[in-house]
């Protein structure tokens, strides 16, 4: 047995690594398999088995574009099982995705994060707009109530003035009626106003009839 050099003894043990082609597509953990061809002569011949690679184009709803990838038949069946390549990339473990799968997963997650952030911003803008509309409606209502109160305050003195004028007019009408009665007592003729209505007109006619007969 050949002794190990001291420099080589400090190196970490060699671990199996995926072949280079597996980093360029979705291989779902598939690697090169090694074995032997064993004929009837029992003379073994070393050989390898490569994964069955297909080239497919998928429509990514999240990325809003078509994605062309190289993948194994195992990955193809898994994508069909999940329903879309986006769900496959988000739900498959990183150990089965490989470099290309992780690159696509990062793109999908960034797109989803941007969409969610935009939804949050839109919701905040909608809440601000609703609050502004409610505040504006409240201000309009308060202004309308203030205007009604101001109009009521300005109409109150006018109403009292109108009541005073009506009372003055009523007093004048009563004085006129007394003057007509006095003229009737003296035997003078009095012209009755045809525009008198209601009680005043009837009282004038009754008084005229009484004093006229006397």
Q: Return d(Cα 189, Cα 180) in angstroms, integer.
A: 9
Res. 153 pLDDT band, cuts 50 70 90: confident
Is residue 207 within 8 Å of 184, Cβ to Cβ? Answer: yes
Q: Which residue has the higher pLDDT, 65 or 209?
A: 65
Q: Domain map of the chain by residue range? A: 19-168
Contacts 24+ apart (CB under 8 A), 93-96: 95/29, 96/28, 96/29
Is residue 39 within 8 Å of 31, Cβ to Cβ? Answer: no
DSSP state letter for 189: -
User: What's the pTM?
Assistant: 0.55
Instruction: Specify the pLDDT at position 73.
Output: 95
Show the tokens assigned to 164.
Answer: 């005073």
pLDDT digits (tens, 9 = 90+) for 58-110: 999 999 999 999 999 999 999 999 999 999 999 999 989 989 999 999 999 99
Res. 14 pLDDT band, cuts 50 70 90: low
Q: Which fold has domain 19-168?
A: Ribosomal Protein L24e; Chain: T; (2.30.170)
Residues, the chain, total? 214
Alpha helices in 4-93 (DSSP H): 6-9, 73-82, 85-91
Q: Return d(Cα 22, Cα 19) in angstroms, integer.
A: 6
């Amino acid at each position: 047995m050949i002794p190990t050099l001291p420099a080589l003894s400090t190196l970490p043990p060699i671990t199996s690594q995926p072949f280079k082609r597996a980093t360029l597509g979705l291989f779902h953990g598939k690697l090169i398999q090694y074995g032997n061809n064993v004929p009837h002569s029992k003379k073994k011949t070393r050989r390898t088995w490569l994964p069955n690679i297909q080239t497919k184009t998928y429509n990514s709803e999240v990325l809003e574009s078509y994605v062309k990838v190289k993948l194994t038949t195992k990955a193809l069946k898994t994508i069909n099982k999940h329903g879309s390549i986006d769900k496959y990339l988000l739900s498959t473990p990183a150990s089965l995705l490989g470099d290309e799968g992780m690159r696509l997963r990062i793109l999908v997650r960034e797109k989803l994060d941007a969409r969610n952030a935009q939804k949050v911003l839109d919701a905040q803008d909608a809440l601000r707009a609703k609050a502004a509309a409610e505040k504006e409606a409240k201000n309009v209502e308060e202004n309308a109530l203030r205007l009604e109160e101001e109009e009521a305050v300005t109409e109150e003195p006018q109403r009292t003035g109108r009541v005073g004028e009506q009372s003055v007019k009523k007093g004048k009408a009563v004085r006129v009626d007394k003057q007509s009665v006095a003229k009737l007592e003296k035997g003078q003729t009095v012209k009755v106003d045809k525009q008198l209505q209601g009680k005043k007109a009837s009282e004038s006619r009754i008084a005229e009839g009484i004093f006229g007969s006397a």
